[in-house]
Amino acid sequence: MKKNMINIQPAILYAALLFTACKTSRHSSLSSSVNPYQYSIQKKVVAENGAVVSAHPLASQVGVEILKKGGNAIDAAIATQLALAVVYPNAGNIGGGGFMVARLANGELLALDYREKAPGAAHRDMYLDPDGTPRTDKSRDGHLSAGVPGTVAGLFAAHRYGKLPFRELIEPAIQLAEKGFAITENEAGALNRLQDDLRKFNTIPPVFIKSQWKPGDTLIQKDLARTLMRIRDNGLAGFYEGETARLIVEEMQRGGGIITYEDLKNYKAVYRKPHVFTYKGYDIVSMPMPSSGGVLLNQMMKMIEDKNIAAMGFQTTQSVQLMIEVKRRAFADRAKYMGDPDFYKVPVEQLCSPSYLKERMRDYSPDKATPSSEVKAGIIAGYESEETTHLSVIDKYGNAVAVTTTLNNSYGSRTVVGHAGFFLNDEMDDFSIKPGVPNMFGAVGGEANAIQPGKRMLSSMTPTIVLKDKKPFLVLGTPGGTTIPTQIFQTLVNILEFNMSTEDAVYKPKFHHQWLPDEVYLERGFPEEVKKNLEKMGYRFGRERFGIGRTEIIKVLADGKFEAVADIRGDDDARGY
């Protein structure tokens, strides 16, 4: 047994990696520069040829190795996601879904939707008792909370724009699953906290069950390795048909879930038109419906555009108050109007039109809180009616990729498909299970986001690319449920308006408001004086949050180099070459 190095950089003190390795042998097909038993966390890099930022150092390293082998940013994003499915099972996944926003070297803009779907047997009231009592336990835990997974379909759909064979992109993940990797202190803690749920929500004990996980323990996932090999050998059918489909359906039958062979075979990822808007000369490219992210970001940015927020200053009472008020208004619209556009006509154009947004701010007062009870969704004429993960990648060819992917809760439904080794999502909770009943993020909804068979549940994920002179300038995203759009909003305002360094823009404490509940959430470290001033103006505060999100960002510097910054709120890691 070999003691690993303790590698603590000043910037990562509270994400410090401290572990003892159980193995020292190399993985034959991982590059020799990737050692899964001994690694450290790097929070920032400036690179010339390409960069990857993700939630785990091994996944970021795998992505960079793919770039070095001649892959492009799409290839690297695929390989990084697959590696995350192994080394970051909290949110990295093949049993969940996600979104990819990309800007290709030829200038083309892409938005790929591989969000989970409600199974064919799902129905509007499936999480209500006969007397109408909502059963959020069933929408959040175990088999019935799982939507039809979209990630594998998304990876293959993205690969249309890749350069390297898919086999090469999945191989590092297979090796990491088969031979194992040393888990970090954060991972050991998360797995220890998960033990009761693992016993409760599984029909076959998964490898994650153990009396005590320690930092540096090796996590080997043989079942997952075999599933990844079936995907490698059979493509989409390696997941949505054959052995893996059989294992998923049998798991459903053992645990009272409803996903069928047909649901799996019929799942398709779709390319959608990216949501694009301009802000003071920048083009901001983000995710359209069924994510609320792009529209919310657009609404919030446009509601502040004429307010000279730069003059108010970073985290002053004035600027924070303005930002809370625009968040409140955007989220009121989310609750009423947003859902899967394949099932519900979302009035995107109206919601983002200058006249509508001006009207939304008519009752804004810079001196006091506007209670959420007085802020309803806007009126549209003729209208009827935490745990996720992000990765950002860029390459020297001009491709930029932002991917946010999720199981919803940390470890999703906490149900692992027996003998297939991967967690299923609990994304069904992102639907509105009953009008006015909050989901796990406290967000409410109605008709637009009601459950229907085959429908995608509304998301907040906001993978975003900012273009300057039509070229990539920022590539960013974050996990965090409903805090995702408000964090992206803050990070962009910090950089574009307050001229902050990339690290400060990400690391400084964040704040959040989402209309309902009518409370402001502050991250630990937020200035006490600003809070007191806001209290005097009528704002109420929810429980202080230890950390809000984990933003991964790449900025293209004036000299063309890539500055990649990983959030300090976790094991997040930035690599480049």
- The residues annotated as belonging to the active site are 388
Sign, CA dihedral 441-447-449-451, equals positive
Q: Which range in 38-46, 180-188, 281-289, 457-465 contacts ligand GLY by CB under 6 A?
A: 457-465
Query: 213 φ, ψ to 5°?
Result: -90, 140
Residue 452 or 462 with smaller CB distance to ligand GLY: 462
In angstroms, give the least distance from the CB of 439 to ligand GLY. 9
Residue 30 or 148 with smaller CB distance to ligand GLY: 148
Total site size for ligand GLY, rule CB under 6 A: 8
Residue 175 or 460 with smaller CB distance to ligand GLY: 460
Helix H or strand E segment including 446? none
In angstroms, give the least distance from the CB of 308 to ligand GLY. 31
- Which tokens hold the place of 31? 């590059």
Say whether residue 430 binds ligand GLY (CB under 6 A). Answer: yes
Residue 180 or 412 with smaller CB distance to ligand GLY: 412
Residue 114 or 473 with smaller CB distance to ligand GLY: 114
Q: Which range in 102-110, 169-177, 257-265, 456-464 contacts ligand GLY by CB under 6 A?
A: 456-464
In angstroms, give the least distance from the CB of 173 to ligand GLY. 22
Say whether residue 406 binds ligand GLY (CB under 6 A). Answer: yes
Q: Binding pattern to ligand GLY, positions 458-487, x when CB under 6 A?
A: -xxx-------------------x------
In angstroms, give the least distance from the CB of 197 to ligand GLY. 17
Residue 50 or 485 with smaller CB distance to ligand GLY: 485
In angstroms, give the least distance from the CB of 481 to ligand GLY. 5
Query: 268 φ, ψ to 5°?
Result: -135, 135
Q: Which range in 270-278, 377-385, 455-463, 507-515 contacts ligand GLY by CB under 6 A?
A: 455-463
CA distance 375 to 518: 10
Q: Which residues contact 54 (CB under 8 A, 6 or more apart)?
A: 60, 63, 80, 84, 88, 389, 390, 391, 392, 552, 566, 572, 573
Say whether residue 141 binds ligand GLY (CB under 6 A). Answer: no
CA distance 416 to 413: 8
Q: Binding pattern to ligand GLY, positions 232-271, x when CB under 6 A?
A: ----------------------------------------
Query: 362 φ, ψ to 5°?
Result: -60, -35
Ranges within 300-359 binding ligand GLY (CB under 6 A): none
Residue 352 · residue 277 · CB < 8 Å = yes
Residue 139 or 184 with smaller CB distance to ligand GLY: 139
- Which tokens hold the place of 440? 């796990």
3-state secondary structure 451-509: CCCCCECCECCCCEEEEECCEEEEEEECCCCCHHHHHHHHHHHHHHCCCCCHHHHHHCC
In angstroms, give the least distance from the CB of 388 to ligand GLY. 5
Q: Which single residue brings its beta carbon nearest to ligand GLY? A: 459
Burial level of 213, CB count in 10 A (0-12/13-18/19+)? buried
Q: Which residue is it, tokens 């230890």?
A: 546
Q: Which residues pair with 109 in a beta bridge?
A: 103
In angstroms, give the least distance from the CB of 497 to ligand GLY. 25
At 573 the three-state DSSP class reads strand
Q: Write the Ramachandran bin of 235: left for phi over 0, alpha for psi from -120 to 50, otherwise beta.
A: left
Residue 12 · residue 161 · CB < 8 Å = no
Say whether residue 408 binds ligand GLY (CB under 6 A). Answer: yes
Binding site for ligand GLY (CB under 6 A): 388, 406, 408, 430, 459-461, 481
